[in-house]
Amino acid sequence: MAFDTTTDEVLDGVDLRGTVALVTGASTGLGLETARALASAGAMVTLAVRTAERAAAAEATIRERVPAAALECGLLDLTSLASVREFAGWFSSRHDRMGIMINNAGVMATPFERTDDGFELQFGTNHLGHFLLTNLLTPLLIEGAPARVVNLSSGGHRSSDIIWDDPNYERREYDKFEAYGQSKTANILFSVELDRRLRDSGVRSYAVHPGMIATELGRYMTRDDYRALSERAKSRPGGGFPQRKSIESGAATSVWAATDDELRTQGGVYCEDCTVSEQVAPWALDADSAQRLWTMSEMLVGQSFPVV
C-alpha cells in the first residue's frame, strides 16, 4: 500500500458479500467512489445523500460500472438533528445489522453559518451530525460485529484543538480554517472514544485523512483562501501544499480502514496513505479529551449514549 494506491487495489480479492455498508455524502467525490468500490466487492451499500436528485444520479453512476451493485438510497441532512434521527429510524427499519459505516460527508472553510439546531456549521455537520447518527445505529453495528466505523478527518485537524469554552463561536470572531480544524480534530477524538466504548463488542473505529484531492469539499474556497492556506502550509515542517491525489487514491484509505484484515486488532487510530499514521497532533489522540468531547456532544445533541 502506498500514496497512490487505489480503492480497487485495496479491495483486490476481498469478498464483501453479506456485508451491509453505509456511506454518508455518497453523491459525489470520495463518498461516491467509496460506495462504488464497496459495492464492487459485493457489499450491500446504502448511499446517504441530501436530495433525491443526487441519490438517483449517484446510483446511476455506480451502476454504469457495477451493473449488479446492491444499492439503496436514503435522504440525510447532517445539518439537522431531526433529519439524522429520521434517517436512522428509516435505516434501522430496513436492516438488523451493519458491518461498515463510513462517515464521509463534510463541509470545509464555509462562511459563518449555523445549522438548524444552532451549531457552527462545520462543527455541527462534520462532527455532531455523525456523532448522533453513529450512536443511534450502534445496535446495528454490534449486531454486525466484527464491524468498523470510519470517520473522515483531515490533516487540517492540526489547525485547531477543540475550543472547549466556545466550540460554536458564540463569543468570539469566526475563523473558517480554525473551525474546520476543530471539526476535524473532533472526528479523530470521536474515533478514539467510540473505539474504547465498542471494541469489546467487536466494533472498531478509525479516523482517516484522505489526502489533498480536488472535490466539491473545496467549493467554498476563494483564491484568497488558497493563498492563506498556502502561507499556513509553508510555516509547517516540510512547507507547502502536499501532492494531490486522485479520487480513487483518496478514497483508498477509507476502504482500507474498513476492510484490511491486519487492522482487526487496532482501533482509535489516525490513518493516511493506507497505513496507521503518526502525523497527528497530540491533542487529537488524547483519551481524556476524547471522553470530554463525548460528554459535550451528548449535551449538545440532547441525548446520552451509555457505555455498552
Catalytic residues: 180
- Say if residues 13 and 255 touch (Cβ distance below 8 Å): no
Burial classification of residue 139, based on how many CB atoms lie within 10 Å of its CB (0-12 exposed, 13-18 middle, 19 or more buried): middle
100 phi, psi to nearest 5 deg: -140, 130
